[in-house]
């Protein structure tokens, strides 16, 4: 009887093992099918999703903003929202030059001008730009376009202007430390004072 019990137990264990192997084999086949489907679709190039499909656009914000860069925004966003995403206006930005209610489109570049850039653009568009640098309003980069005016002298001009007010004539630029007659003679035909 003991042998019969052992045979029955062994037979039961064999049946259990066969069942486990069957389930494992079936599960293994099910797992392979998605892999085959996944591999087949991976061989095809992925479709690019458009802004309409994702509901987002990507815009490039540069110029006089706190954090220039590319930003993902919901489709239908306005220019003001893009500037907010870039940290807001920089301290020298012309906040009234751009229409902040403009609806943006995907891959658009938004350049926020400085006040000086905006004024220059407006003057050029009106045909008023004469090619002369206004020493009362020019920023350091514009001043450095003048012969003999590097970064240090440009900053000295702006410091003098901030401390003493507007220049009343182009000759007043010689009051700025480091700018004497020789330097003035190189730039006198390229500068002006408005007002």
Domain with residue 179: its CATH number is 1.10.150.280
Total-model pTM: 0.42
Digit-by-digit pLDDT tens for the chain (195 residues) are 566 666 666 666 556 556 655 555 555 544 443 333 333 333 334 434 555 566 899 999 999 999 999 999 999 999 999 999 999 999 999 998 899 999 999 999 999 999 888 887 776 655 455 678 889 888 888 898 898 999 999 999 999 999 999 999 999 999 999 899 999 999 999 999 975
Q: Which helix (H) or strand (E) holds 57?
A: strand 56-63
Q: Which residues contact 109 (CB under 8 A, 6 or more apart)?
A: 59, 60, 61, 62
> How many distinct structural domains can be found in the chain?
3
Tell me, what's the pLDDT at 55? 87
19 lies in which domain range? Answer: 1-46
Q: How far is CA 96 from the centre of its chain?
A: 20
Last residue of a domain, one of 115, 141, 160: 115
Asked if residue 57 is part of any domain, the answer here is: yes
Give first-to-last CA distance, the chain, whole Å.
122
- Say whether both 55 and 111 belong to one domain: yes
């Amino acid at each position: 009887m003991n042998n019969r019990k052992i045979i029955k137990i062994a037979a039961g264990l064999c049946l259990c093992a066969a069942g486990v192997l069957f389930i494992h084999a079936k599960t293994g086949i099910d797992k392979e099918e998605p892999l085959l489907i996944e591999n087949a679709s991976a061989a095809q190039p992925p479709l690019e999703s458009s802004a309409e499909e994702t509901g987002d656009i990507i815009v490039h914000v540069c110029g006089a903003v706190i954090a220039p860069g590319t930003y993902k925004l919901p489709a239908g966003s306005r220019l003001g929202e893009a500037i907010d995403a870039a940290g807001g206006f920089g301290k020298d930005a012309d906040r009234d030059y751009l229409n902040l209610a403009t609806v943006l489109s995907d891959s658009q570049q938004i350049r926020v001008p400085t006040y000086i850039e905006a004024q220059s653009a407006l003057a050029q568009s009106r045909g008023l730009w004469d090619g002369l640098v206004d020493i009362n309003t020019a920023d350091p980069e514009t001043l450095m376009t003048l012969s003999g005016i590097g970064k240090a002298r440009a900053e000295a001009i702006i410091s003098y202007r901030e401390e003493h007010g507007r220049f009343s004539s182009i000759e007043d630029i010689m009051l700025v430390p480091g700018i004497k007659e020789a330097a003035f003679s190189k730039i006198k035909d390229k500068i002006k004072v408005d007002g």
